[in-house]
């Protein structure tokens, strides 16, 4: 890598390169270390690292999610100096652009792409880093406000009372069709 870092993200891009974003270069990823704005791309075909355009705001304990068009959504941050605004990276132009502001600042959260191209951003710690969040938001790429002003309803804290659900069938470990067998060479 171009810079030593921890608490960063790595995202596989459609061209096969890996985008490594932000983090901190201390040993424990603690809040006492300033976050990094540096970004690097790794090309496994050449085994080379190159610097990419830096983030507008340094961050660590963030998420980086590949969007359907090949851009990367970066949301969340852990440092008081970093705004809550999300950023979007375009690998084709090596440029960052603003991607809206979530209703709640987050760190150490999770993000998952949804089948329709939106991104679920859920849980994590609040802006102070000490309060766990029981909420989620959905990011929608486009010209309208990317994060709705209303977060989704709070995440459930426990299973509702009632009978236990019937367990699903176990995941099959054996293939469902027979494998061809190899004939030893003579």
Per-residue pLDDT of the chain (186 residues), as tens digits, is 678 888 899 999 999 999 999 998 875 555 567 888 999 999 999 999 999 999 998 998 899 999 999 999 999 886 666 667 899 999 999 999 998 888 888 888 999 999 988 899 988 887 666 788 888 888 887 655 566 544 455 555 544 555 544 444 444 443 444 444 444 555
64 closest CA partner among 114, 8, 106, 117: 8
- Helix, strand, coil percent content, the chain, rounded in steps of 5: 0, 30, 70
pLDDT at 144: 53
Which tokens hold the place of 86? 């999300």
Fold of the 9-139 domain: Neuraminidase (2.120.10)
Rounded CA separation 127/82 (Å): 10
Q: In what order do the strands lie in the sheet with 72-75?
A: 63-66, 72-75, 87-90, 95-98
Which tokens hold the place of 110? 């999770």
pLDDT at 172: 42
pLDDT at 175: 42
pLDDT at 167: 47
pLDDT at 129: 66
Which tokens hold the place of 46? 């050449």
pLDDT at 69: 92
Q: In what order do the strands lie in the sheet with 110-113?
A: 110-113, 119-122, 136-139
- pTM for the complete prediction? 0.75
Which tokens hold the place of 2? 């171009």
């Amino acid at each position: 890598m171009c810079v030593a870092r921890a608490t960063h993200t790595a995202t596989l891009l459609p061209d096969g390169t890996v985008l490594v974003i932000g983090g901190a270069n201390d040993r424990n990823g603690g809040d006492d270390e300033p976050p990094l704005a540096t970004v690097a791309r790794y090309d496994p075909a050449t085994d080379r690292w190159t610097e990419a355009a830096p983030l507008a705001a340094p961050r660590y304990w963030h998420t980086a999610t590949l969007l359907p068009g090949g851009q990367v959504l970066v949301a969340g941050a852990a440092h008081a100096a970093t705004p809550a605004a999300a950023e979007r990276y375009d690998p084709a132009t090596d440029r960052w652009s603003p991607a809206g502001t979530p209703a709640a600042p987050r760190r150490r959260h999770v993000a998952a792409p949804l089948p329709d191209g939106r991104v679920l951003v859920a849980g994590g710690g609040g802006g102070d880093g000490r309060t766990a969040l029981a909420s989620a938001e959905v990011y929608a790429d486009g010209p309208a406000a990317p994060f709705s002003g209303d977060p989704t309803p709070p995440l459930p804290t426990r299973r509702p009372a009632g009978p236990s659900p019937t367990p699903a069938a176990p995941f099959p470990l054996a293939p469902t069709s027979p494998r061809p067998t190899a004939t030893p060479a003579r």
